[in-house]
Amino acid sequence: MPPHPLPPSEQQFVTHLLAQMTLEEKIGQMTQPEKNSVKAGDVTRLALGSVLSGGGGNPDPNTPASWRAMVSTFQDEALATRLKIPLIYGVDAVHGHNNVVGATVYPHNIGLGATRDADLVRRIGRATALEVAATDVRWSFAPAVSIPQDLRWGRSYEGYSQDPGLVSELATALIDGYRGDGWRSPTSVLPSVKHYVADAATTWGTSRRVDRTALNSDRTLATAQMGQSTVELLDLGAWQIDQGNAEIDEETLRAVHLPPYRAAIEAGALNVMASYSSWQGLKLHAHRYLLTDILKGELGFEGFVVSDWEGIDQIHPGDYARCVVDAINAGIDMVMVPFDYERFIACLQAAVHAGRVSTERIDDAVRRILSAKVALGLFEHPHTDQDLLNLVGSAPHRELAREAVAKSLVLLRHEGEVLPLDPRGPAVLVAGPDADDIGAQCGGWTISWMGGRGPTTPGTTILEGLRAVAGAERVHYCPDGRTEQCFPVAVVVVAEDPYAEGMGDRERLTLSPEQLALLKRVRERCERLVVVLVSGRPLVVTPHLPEWDALVAAWLPGTEGQGVAEVLFGQRPFTGRLPFDWPRTHAGLRRGGDERPLFRLGDGLVPAGGLVVG
Ligand code: GLC
């Protein structure tokens, strides 16, 4: 059993504070609206305990300083309440402080899984915490400890690996990084271990998240700006598996999906986010056995459970009052209610007055929330040091990201000793619009919820990195690959369209016809073809492999594309290893089938040519 996060004296402080609180103040602590919904003064008026920025919930202008001003204003409103209970602001800093223009954006978790480097992840956690704290934010909804079972899931890249042990190791490393010198330090950031539990074990076709007849009234999907229409994406499989039903037995749930939570709790995590998904047909947000009996009872979790975004609404669609009762009684302690927060407050107050939710349950939830705030030192220092702003996007952080990118690359095919490229050799043809696109290399959860192509935030594209390493004169860039010249070596970068969550669910994981045509054109203009795949997951490329001399899985590297160039030109070695099996055909996208993978968990080649030093 993990120790209680607070010494007895501070547990007494919480007990004393709780005894002073009215029911309204207690319910306020349990309420987390989105910053675009909160009316000025409402944090004070309703004694709200938390506010969040959803994906893309950015201030205008989107700068570190304006982020800090926004968050600090909410905190000052909380400190103006009767009991001066500090607020805790939450963001999705899932691969750096990724909503903030100018922040360092690291490889998504799948790339970090390929590094198998816990110390690196710990350093990334620390650097991320410093950039998050710089904006006066002290809570990040990470790490995801999902263990993807079906690569068609749009959140596969948020999983470190299919290996529960590796997920546990890297998640606890990130938590250590968030903690830094100690949770009480003003640069610690509260992690949110998510999404509890077995979020990644759902079955294709079981999601009920999207009602095609109600798309126009879905306020959350309305913020999911993608290059294609929602209907087109639904036809490709969007929202078919995300938030679906995990049809696994308890033995599998315990053996595969629970261990990272046990490890995270042992590492001191004080927040867990409930999963939208269901287990054996019951929504996790209403699952008392999993949320209370197992998480808080058997695993001894002393922190608080936050719902996901409108997560409680899905329990009994159309009967919100019943959703509130069942969610709180199941063990949800704080409700992420992005829009209609006053409706939530009124429903919970009515439920308590009607005896449908006990005051003991309310006190337990609020005690957990207050204990986490005390553990973070928020009562002593509700604001962080604004000098931290100098660290956002700083050179040391970008160098750390470059190291992570380099270590994340996995070499899967290598013919003719084409790698490493000679930085003093003949010019290299580089092709593909995605070779020069920060948004493509960052993927989802970057500046906006879905992410998107284009110069969305400062960084170094893969092309810029290649030019920096080998000299512009040795890099002949031809985005569409249409050139009459022939080259000894060509590098083509192809990327998945950025996506997040169920918008990224896809029935088929292939390169687009345009990308295949580009590759065919370049194939005819070079002796050796190196393909760099920028993707949130393995794609089915088996039929094309014989045409390629090298295949490099680069995952979603983030802002520091030079890390790719440094490995291609031999300044850093290939050390990455596959964190997932790589499917041979679409039949292999869901684990557990009888198809032999094309490449296996742990695979990764190292060129015989070794390093090119200097
Ligand atoms: C989203 C995601 C969750 C995220 C939360 C806040 O829907 O499921 O991972 O932390 O909402 O943005």
* 529 close to 548: Cβ distance less than 8 angstroms: yes
* Burial class of 283 by CB neighbour count within 10 A (0 to 12, 13 to 18, 19+): buried
How far, in Å, is the centroid of ligand 1 from the Cα of 244?
15
Residue 258 near residue 167 (C-beta atoms within 8 A):
no
Residue 56's pLDDT is what? Answer: 80
Q: State the distance from the centre of ligand 1 to the C-alpha of 119, rounded, in angstroms.
A: 26
Active site residues: 308, 501
Structural domains in the chain, sorted by start: 8-206+241-387 (3.20.20.300), 395-604 (3.40.50.1700)
Residue 382 CA, ligand 1 centroid: distance in Å: 24
Sheet holding 193-196, edge to edge: 193-196, 271-274, 304-306
- Whose CA is closest to 495, among 555, 567, 565? 555
Q: What is the pTM of this model?
A: 0.98
- What is the residue with the minimal CA distance to atom 10 of ligand 1? 141
Place of tokens 């309310």: 362
Report the C-alpha gap between 589 and 77 in whole angstroms.
49
CA-proximal residue: ligand 1, atom 1 (nearest)? 309
State residue 609's pLDDT score.
67
Cis peptide before 538 (omega within 30 of 0): no
Could you say which DSSP state residue 446 is in?
B
**Side chain identity at 104, as an amino acid letter?**
T
pLDDT at position 2 is: 75
Strand partners, 590: 150
Q: How far is CA 156 from the centre of its chain?
A: 10
Q: Which residues of the chain carry a pLDDT beneath 70?
A: 609-614
CB 604 within 8 A of CB 410: yes
Q: Is 31 helix (H, G, I), strand (E, B) or coil?
A: strand
Ligand 1 midpoint to CA 313 (Å):
14
Ligand 1 atom closest to Cα of residue 90: 6
Spatial contact of 465 and 459, defined as CB atoms under 8 Å apart: no
Q: What pLDDT score was predicted for residue 225?
A: 81
The secondary structure of residue 298, as a DSSP letter, is I
pLDDT above 70 covers a percentage of the chain that reads: 99
* pLDDT score recorded for residue 614: 44
Q: What residues form DSSP beta bridges with 171?
A: none
Tens of pLDDT along 53-89? Answer: 998 889 999 999 999 999 999 999 999 999 999 999 9
SS3 67: helix
The reply to whether omega before 33 is within 30° of 0 (cis) is no
Distance, CA of 575 to CA of 565 (rounded, Å): 14
Nearest to residue 120, comparing CAs of 167, 160, 173, 162? Answer: 173
Out of 141, 156, 221, 305, mutate this one to test ligand 1's pocket (max ligand atoms within 8 Å of CB): namely: 141
As for ligand 1, residues whose beta carbon falls within 6 Å of it are: 54-55, 92, 141, 194, 308-309, 501
